[in-house]
Amino acid sequence: MVVMVVGGNGQLGAACCAELRHRHADVRASVRDARRGATLADAGVDVVELDLTSGSDARRRALEGAECVILSANAVAPRQGDRPALVDRAKVELVDDAEAVGVRRVVLPSVPVTAADDEVPLVRGRRELEQRILSSPMESWVLRLPPFMDVWLALVGSSVPLRGEEHATLGRPSPFLRRFRRVTGRLVEDRGVMLVPGPATHRHAFIAVADAARACVEAALRPDGASGPVDVAGPEVLSWDDVAAVYADVLGRRVRVLSAPAAVFAVAARVLAPVADVPARTMALNRYLAESESPWTDAGGGLVEPPTMTRVEPFLRAKAALPDRPAG
Ligand SMILES: NC(=O)c1ccc[n+]([C@@H]2O[C@H](COP(=O)([O-])OP(=O)(O)OC[C@H]3O[C@@H](n4cnc5c(N)ncnc54)[C@H](OP(=O)(O)O)[C@@H]3O)[C@@H](O)[C@H]2O)c1
């Protein structure tokens, strides 16, 4: 069976490719530029070029012969010139294309449901895509995943989680993200400050990207689809204060939490929306996290064995032991 990872160069996408190879599955990965797919090809992945926004014919050619699609591509950290709304639209259209060429199953890594969903363009798009997939005659797995520790424990002001990561989401050449990271990328290790969206007491079942990939791959390879969305929690629920304590222990320095309220992000998103789409969407996404918690206790969501999942403390300790140099 051929499993196609759409967005094979992303952090989760690449981890899904690695996990599929580990499980001896035939893997096809779509990338936008074949030159950026060399590492995947070296690992035995069949690499095809596909820009999701390039129309139905291109999408169908890329999908032909795939039995399962893991739909991981997204425009959260877009390249210069990318238009996130078009990517969201193209992902819904890709579901039509997948049905047309006979794909049997779709796996969607998605995000938790919160009261702020309607206010956040990225999440609105995700709910539309979920609905389209869940109402399809194809088998489906919609996995609602909590914040990735590889991403969010860096986004709060550290470069430690990025060590050794070739496909880091936060390493993407996304102009707005690059500017933000230049200012905040080492606050935790250099200043002992963690910049957190929302209250320091908010709790999340942080999951490692490698475990999220194991869940996606298990969903792809299981005999059956799911009957509805599945929450896939990480192995423990921690508040931001707990994360700061882990950082303090791992780095051997005091770390305090600076909390940015949801209202600040909401106003910034509203002011920026007419003039700067990507920064506005990023602010809205921060608002989403600032207002929400994902304190689920069902580690692995029935797809991954909880005792085998990575916890925050060993994750950060292992990363901190790696050389401190830019990813890649
Ligand atoms: N981060 C979290 O905390 C979190 C939590 C829950 C769920 N999730 C979900 O998990 C997934 C994360 O995936 P990831 O880590 O692989 O993302 P990522 O690191 O941000 O990578 C994005 C990928 O999408 C591709 N892409 C963007 N625009 C495209 C287009 N027009 N056509 C084709 N490909 C395009 C990129 O290709 P290029 O390299 O060519 O730009 C890249 O491969 C997302 O679905 C996200 O919503 C994330």
| pLDDT digits 0-9 by tens, 58-75 | 999 999 999 999 999 999
How many angstroms separate the alpha carbon of residue 75 from the centre of ligand 1? 6
Ranges of each domain in the chain: 2-320
Confidence of residue 328 (pLDDT cuts 50, 70, 90): very low
C-beta of 17 in contact with ligand 1 (< 6 A): no
The average pLDDT across 225-238 equals 96
With 70 as the cut, is the pLDDT of residue 326 above it?
no
Write the residue with the smallest CA distance to atom 26 of ligand 1: 73
2-320 CATH fold: Rossmann fold (3.40.50)
pLDDT at 119: 87
Q: Which of 4, 11, 12, 79 to mutate to test the pocket of ligand 1 (most atoms within 8 A of CB)?
A: 12
C-beta of 52 in contact with ligand 1 (< 6 A): yes
Percent of the chain with pLDDT over 90: 93
The average pLDDT across 157-167 equals 96
With 60 as the cut, is the pLDDT of residue 212 above it?
yes
How many angstroms separate the alpha carbon of residue 256 from the centre of ligand 1? 30
Q: In this predicted model, what pLDDT tens digit does every residue of 251-305 receive, in sequence order?
A: 999 999 999 999 999 999 999 999 999 899 999 999 999 999 999 999 999 999 9
pLDDT at 113: 93
C-beta of 72 in contact with ligand 1 (< 6 A): yes
Long-range contacts of 244-249 (CB under 8 A, 24+ apart): 244/194, 244/200, 246/312, 246/313, 246/316, 247/153, 247/158, 247/188, 247/194, 247/316, 248/192, 249/313
Q: In this predicted model, what pLDDT tens digit does every residue of 2-32 receive, in sequence order?
A: 999 999 999 999 999 999 999 999 999 999 9
Nearest to 312 by CA among 256, 248, 253, 252: 248
Atom of ligand 1 at shortest range from CA of 169: 19
Nearest to 215 by CA among 128, 296, 115: 296
C-beta of 74 in contact with ligand 1 (< 6 A): yes
What is the Cα–Cα distance from 268 to 272, expressed in whole angstroms?
Answer: 6
pLDDT at 93: 98
How many angstroms separate the alpha carbon of residue 313 from the centre of ligand 1? 25
Q: What is the mean pLDDT of the chain?
A: 95
Q: Which residues have C-beta within 8 Å of that of residue 103, sequence separation ≥ 6?
A: 63, 66, 67, 68, 69, 138
Angle subtended at Cα 111 by Cα 142 and Cα 94, rounded to the nearest 5 degrees = 55
**What does residue 156 show for φ and ψ, rounded to 5 degrees?**
-75, 0
C-beta of 151 in contact with ligand 1 (< 6 A): yes
With 50 as the cut, is the pLDDT of residue 327 above it?
no
C-beta of 9 in contact with ligand 1 (< 6 A): yes
Q: In this predicted model, what pLDDT tens digit does every residue of 108-150 receive, in sequence order?
A: 999 999 988 998 999 999 999 999 999 999 999 999 999 999 9
How many angstroms separate the alpha carbon of residue 227 from the centre of ligand 1? 25
The average pLDDT across 44-53 equals 98
